Amino acid sequence: MMDLFAWAAKLKLAERFTLARGAEDEAEVVQVELRWRGQSAFGEGAPIARYEESAVDALEFLENSRELLGDDPFALEAINARLAAYPGQHAAKAALDAALHDLCGKLLGVPVWRLLGLQQHGPPTTWTISLGDPDEMARRAERAEGRFTRLKLKLGGLDGLDLQRVQAVRSVTRLPLVVDVNEYWSFEEALDTLPQLASLGVEYCEQPMLAGHLDGPELKKRAPLPIYVDEECHTLEDVEAARERAHGINIKLSKAGGIRESLRMVYAARALGLKVIIGCMNESGLGIAAACQLASLADHADLDGNLLLDSDPWPGVVLDQGVQVPSDRPGLGVVTTGDRVH
Ligand SMILES: [Mg+2]
């Protein structure tokens, strides 16, 4: 049997992270260690409150999942199927799936991106500018210059200032811009604002309206720039419905339940003519490293989670000319700087 240890970790953010739904100064994640035949492997998942997940519930699921792992870490599909019999808990499943991939990579002596037959380099990551006053957002955009090649602006202030936010940032930088409204526009606000954002050169808009909004298909028809869904696309079974409502989907390991489900989503999206963002939550380099392994399959990357932290306890991913590059060490290629947890 594989040995499993699981714990919650609090990650302090360098600056308060604000989006339409609220603000946070720290993020809570769950981390697991698997031990098998003398090898240790690690994975992380970020429980998402929006989907009624918490670290407490994730840890309980992990404690109860020990028997489901079996004695063959390479039997990834079979393990996935056993875990899938229990609904929800996608962050916990993502942590397990990442640790299993880390273990397989370490046992074979190859990085996971090679194990998957993929490339080491994906698209450059966006750098997230928290929702704030237009001037404040412009100042943050200025500070990103030189380090990042694309910016993602959090919108949805419900104060009529979203266009001014983008104008303020556009006035201080020539970097490509994308926006994420996190479900906070009405259909009317989306119809009013999107054409103006398109004329400012905004490349795409993520989740403009509430997940499942009845006017989603109509907005796609009338949108002058690509729409990506995030809050309404979690796992493989959500991908087909996205075609009518969006031009692409944002795949996150903690939403999907791990690398394998995310791969299925990428291929389903391709079959349906949808583009793909590989995204993240506020998470450490351990979580980001797992997402980076498949970033080369995506059109866009939003993998700045560990860079938003005060300090990253799991270094290994390197920001190189705007790209979050996974290590060429075996497995996920990250090593903790903290004390050994067990
Ligand atoms: Mg989003």
Query: Is the pLDDT reported for residue 298 higher than 90?
Result: yes
Mean pLDDT, rounded, for 271-292: 98
Read off the pLDDT of residues 183-209 as tens digits, 9 standing for 90 and up: 999 999 999 999 999 999 999 999 999
Mean pLDDT, rounded, for 326-337: 95
Task: Say which DSSP state 327 is in.
Answer: P
Residue 67: the pLDDT is 93
Query: Is the pLDDT reported for residue 340 higher than 60?
Result: no
Mean pLDDT, rounded, for 162-169: 98
Query: Is the pLDDT reported for residue 230 higher than 90?
Result: yes
Question: What's the gap in Å between 229 CA and the centre of ligand 1?
Answer: 8
| Tokens found for residue 292 | 């980076």
Question: What's the gap in Å between 63 CA and the centre of ligand 1?
Answer: 30
| Tokens found for residue 75 | 């039997």
Question: CA dist 58 to 22, 29, 45, 176, 235, Å?
Answer: 22, 9, 9, 37, 18
Query: Is the pLDDT reported for residue 342 higher than 60?
Result: no
- 242 — phi, psi (to 5°)? -70, -25
Question: What's the gap in Å between 205 CA and the centre of ligand 1?
Answer: 9
Mean pLDDT, rounded, for 118-147: 97
For 284-327, list the strands marked E by DSSP.
Answer: 300-301, 318-320, 323-325
Cβ < 5 A residues, ion ligand 1: 180, 206, 230
Mean pLDDT, rounded, for 27-47: 97
| Tokens found for residue 341 | 């947890």
CA distance 332 to 105: 7
Among 45, 60, 53, 34, CA closest to 92: 45
Q: Which residues of 81-109 are buried (b: 16+ CB within 10 A; e: fewer)?
A: eebeeeeebbbbbbbbbbbbbbbbbbbee
Task: Say which DSSP state 326 is in.
Answer: P
Residue 1: the pLDDT is 85
Question: What's the gap in Å between 251 CA and the centre of ligand 1?
Answer: 9
Q: Cβ atoms within 10 A of the Cβ of 135, count?
A: 12
Question: What's the gap in Å between 74 CA and the centre of ligand 1?
Answer: 32
Read off the pLDDT of residues 86-105 as tens digits, 9 standing for 90 and up: 999 999 999 999 999 999 99
Average pLDDT along the chain: 97
Kindly report whether the global pTM for this prediction surpasses the value 0.85: yes
Residue 75: the pLDDT is 97
Q: Cβ atoms within 10 A of the Cβ of 15, count?
A: 10
- Which residues on neighbouring strands pair with residue 206, listed in sequence order? 180, 228
Question: What's the gap in Å between 52 CA and the centre of ligand 1?
Answer: 17
